[in-house]
């Protein structure tokens, strides 16, 4: 199978560098005039897929907002993934899993094995049990042409306490994560399949992203305060590999399909102006 990195590059070249989250949290359901129940969840998710799956590079369902409805919510998530992938959009499932040994292998199998009902193009993971603990996800992603995005520099206020801590080797924890993911992408034919999550509102941090050669997911644009123009200061010469991610800024335009499309087009234009 073609690698995720190559599929992602082809998608962003054809459709533009935009990722849109599918985040059906209660406030957005209410804003859309939907009940906070499985029927509302389904209507929300399926409307986003209908509006955007054929015009953006990546859709990013947030698993937690489906999981909170139990097994019925997972059924909706499975259907959302299936419809999205059938429409040709890359699906990045925001699950932020991070564990060790057989447990991490089980998480990887759930999301990266093509035989799973939850199989997606890529997932987010947390490295704070050690980047090496994520090896089962890296291995399965390589075997099946999938991708993995590893948390590196997040925009939550608690993040720097861990991410900017300096290790015995003299690097920050975040730079250690960045360097290990860079090694995974070494020698990749085109864009590597192992990416990082770097918040769009963090500003200049002094970390070196130049050798990653993988996708750089930048959440937090739009309603969360990030502006595409600010991506230059964060990513520098790696700007070409940035995957800017919007959620509420686009989703709040629903439930009208045309309004969702117009909001995504505006975000797309703003990102193209910076990234190209």
User: What residue spans define the domains of the chain?
Assistant: 4-275
Distances (CA, A) of 133 to 64, 92, 105, 111, 149: 22, 21, 10, 17, 14
And the tokens for 176? 């250690």
What is Dmax (Cα atoms) for the chain? Answer: 53
And the tokens for 75? 């059924």
Looking from the CA of 220 toward its CB, the CA atoms found within 13 Å total 20
Q: Is the pLDDT of residue 1 over 90?
A: no
pLDDT band for position 207 (50/70/90)? very high
pLDDT digits (tens, 9 = 90+) for 153-203: 999 999 999 999 999 999 999 999 999 999 999 999 999 999 999 999 999
pLDDT digits (tens, 9 = 90+) for 126-161: 999 999 999 999 999 999 999 999 999 999 999 999
Residues labelled as active-site residues: 96
pLDDT digits (tens, 9 = 90+) for 242-257: 999 999 999 999 999 9
Which DSSP helix (H) or strand (E) runs through 218?
Answer: strand 216-221
Looking from the CA of 222 toward its CB, the CA atoms found within 13 Å total 25
**Residue 143, C-beta contacts closer than 8 angstroms, at least 6 positions apart:** none
Question: What pLDDT score was predicted for residue 223?
Answer: 83
Instruction: Identify whether the C-beta of residue 191 lies closer than 8 Å to the C-beta of residue 184.
Output: no
Instruction: Identify whether the C-beta of residue 83 lies closer than 8 Å to the C-beta of residue 115.
Output: no
pLDDT band for position 276 (50/70/90)? confident
**Residue 2, C-beta contacts closer than 8 angstroms, at least 6 positions apart:** 145
pLDDT digits (tens, 9 = 90+) for 16-59: 999 999 999 999 999 999 999 999 999 999 999 999 999 999 99
Contacts 24+ apart (CB under 8 A), 84-87: 84/49, 84/53, 84/59, 85/120, 85/121, 87/49, 87/53, 87/54
Which DSSP helix (H) or strand (E) runs through 159?
Answer: helix 159-163
Domain 4-275 is classified in which CATH homologous superfamily? Aldolase class I (3.20.20.70)
**Residue 113, C-beta contacts closer than 8 angstroms, at least 6 positions apart:** 119, 140, 144
Distance between CA atoms of residues 121 and 93, nearest Å: 8
Distance between CA atoms of residues 241 and 169, nearest Å: 28
């Amino acid at each position: 199978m073609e690698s995720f990195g190559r599929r992602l590059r082809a998608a962003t070249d054809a459709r533009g560098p935009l990722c849109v989250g599918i985040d059906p949290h209660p406030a957005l359901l209410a804003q859309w005039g939907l009940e906070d129940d499985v029927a509302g969840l389904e209507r929300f998710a399926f409307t986003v897929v209908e509006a955007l799956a054929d015009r953006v590079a990546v859709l990013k369902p947030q698993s937690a907002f489906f999981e909170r409805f139990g097994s019925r919510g997972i059924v909706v998530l499975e259907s959302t993934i299936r419809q999205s992938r059938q429409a040709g959009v890359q699906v990045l499932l925001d699950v932020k899993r991070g564990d060790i040994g057989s447990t991490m292998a089980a998480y990887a199998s759930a999301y990266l094995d093509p035989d799973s009902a939850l199989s997606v193009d890529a997932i987010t993971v947390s490295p704070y049990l050690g980047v090496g603990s994520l090896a089962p996800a890296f291995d399965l992603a390589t075997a099946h042409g999938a991708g993995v995005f590893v948390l590196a520099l997040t925009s939550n206020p608690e993040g720097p306490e861990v991410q900017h801590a300096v290790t015995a080797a003299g690097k920050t924890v975040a730079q250690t994560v960045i360097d290990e993911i860079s090694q995974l992408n070494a020698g990749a034919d085109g864009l590597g399949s192992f990416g990082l999550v770097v918040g769009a509102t963090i500003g200049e941090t002094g970390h070196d992203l130049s050798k990653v050669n993988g996708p750089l997911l930048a959440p937090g644009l739009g309603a969360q305060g990030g502006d595409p123009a600010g991506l230059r200061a964060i990513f520098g010469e790696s700007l070409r590999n940035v995957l800017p991610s919007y959620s509420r800024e686009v989703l709040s335009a629903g439930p009208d399909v045309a309004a969702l499309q117009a909001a995504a087009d505006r975000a797309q234009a703003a990102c193209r102006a910076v990234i190209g």
